[in-house]
Structure 1
């Protein structure tokens, strides 16, 4: 006979299991993000500047719109956004989960059911591209210098996520951004921040092995000097 006491014991066991799983995930993410890839990388004094941006939860890469290595205007034309006429100089590029990106303009809109679905079964990938005019360094927008060869490798890595034509795009949150359906499956092991880390690692930059959280990416990127932020 299934009594109330047995039910409470079963419920307690489930809760303990969930808490243990969460704690193990947090511990694993801390350990994984602390083990470096490209451990011998040293930032050059001169070269090509990119930036790593965070809002505390999500990270993205900021790259020059045009230089002699890559012109991104063919991949992400300004005509795809609501305000195509500003003198844009940079792009912020990030990868994430389709439903979370498109249906949660603020983190308050993120439902627990969506989080559980992503953890359990994952979701489709989507690319978020924002057009910027001369982004300034700050604690949340941190510049790093790459050699020309490293920047070329970063471009090649990002290009693998660029959607094939015909592209399916979605309106952004503001007049300067847009979403594109792209390949890849978002899971607890392959998060938006892991994508950022993988792009940096492909360029040869020192970063963590497994970085599901934004802090695991940003702890490898030095804050700009006081005068620049």
Structure 2
């Protein structure tokens, strides 16, 4: 019996210590600001951070003088193509997770484990918006053309393109009528989550961000 108790303590310690260390690193990463006072000149482009409570997307204008996103993510790749959308949102994540978990109730231990601990392909989820959704946690940001150019470069460089320079849609994968998924670079893990991707986008653009965060709280902490 004593041996069993010792084993259980040892086993729980193995699980508990890494968890404590992980969240300690999270707190440190979130506590350290990056671009705390960004130099924004003539902020005339509005973007949005959109959260579903766990995952953050970045919504940007479909067309500006800087980039026309329909040349990267085509409305024809959606189930209900439209040319009237004013914004398109981008989120990055694990491809198998996207395929197996259209809703949180569909999440299984196997899917979560594969996404966090195995090197699996990733995807970008692009969704066209006629207007910004009102029922989600949304933060508008006004940025300038240089910041938006950097943001656009970051998002564009996440796509995997074919030899002809075209983005590659994931066939048969949709969550609605005006969205599509695309093959993307990188692999999701405990230290490189969907929200880490958004935080990196903000850092790359010269906007306020945390040094590192795997959670949406680390993003919105900079944008209360």
User: Do both proteins adopt the same fold according to a TM-score greater than 0.5, normalized to the shorter chain?
Assistant: yes
Number of equivalences: 219
Q: Establish whether residue 56 from structure 1 lines up as the match of residue 58 from structure 2.
A: no
Deviations for 1:21-46, whole angstroms, at most 9, x for unmatched residues?
22221222122122111122155673
Q: Alignment partner for residue 75 of structure 1, among 65, 72, 79?
A: 72
How far apart, CA to CA, are the structure 2 residues paired with 1:136 and 1:142?
11
> How far has the Cα of 1:17 moved from its partner?
2.1
| Residue of structure 2 aligned with 1:195, choices 194, 197, 222 | 197
Instruction: Give yes or no for contact 1:45–1:145 (8 Å, CA) kept in 2.
Output: no
In the TM superposition, structure 1's runs of 4+ consecutive aligned residues that sit over 3 Å from their partners are 42-46, 136-139
Over the aligned positions, Cα root-mean-square deviation in angstroms equals 2.0
Alignment of 1:1-229 (within 5 A): 5-41=2-38, 46-85=43-82, 87-135=84-132, 140-165=137-162, 167-170=168-171, 171-222=173-224
Q: C-alpha separation between the residues in 2 aligned to 1:11 and 1:121? A: 27
Change in CA separation of 1:39 and 1:82 when aligned onto 2, cut-off 3 Å: same
In structure 2, what is the equivalent of residue 227 of structure 1?
none
TM-score (norm. length: structure 2): 0.89
Decide whether aligned partners of structure 1 residues 13 and 214 sit closer, same or farther in structure 2, where only a CA change above 3 A counts. same
Distance 1:43 1:30 in 2: 28
Aligned counterparts of 1:82 and 1:139: Cα–Cα separation in 2:
23
* 8 Å Cα contact 1:123-1:187 kept in structure 2: no
C-alpha displacement of 1:19: 2.1
Aligned equivalents of 1:110 and 1:63: distance in 2? 29
Q: Distance in 2 between matches of 1:45 and 1:139?
A: 28
Distance 1:126 1:23 in 2: 30
**Alpha carbons 1:122, 1:188 under 8 Å: kept:** no
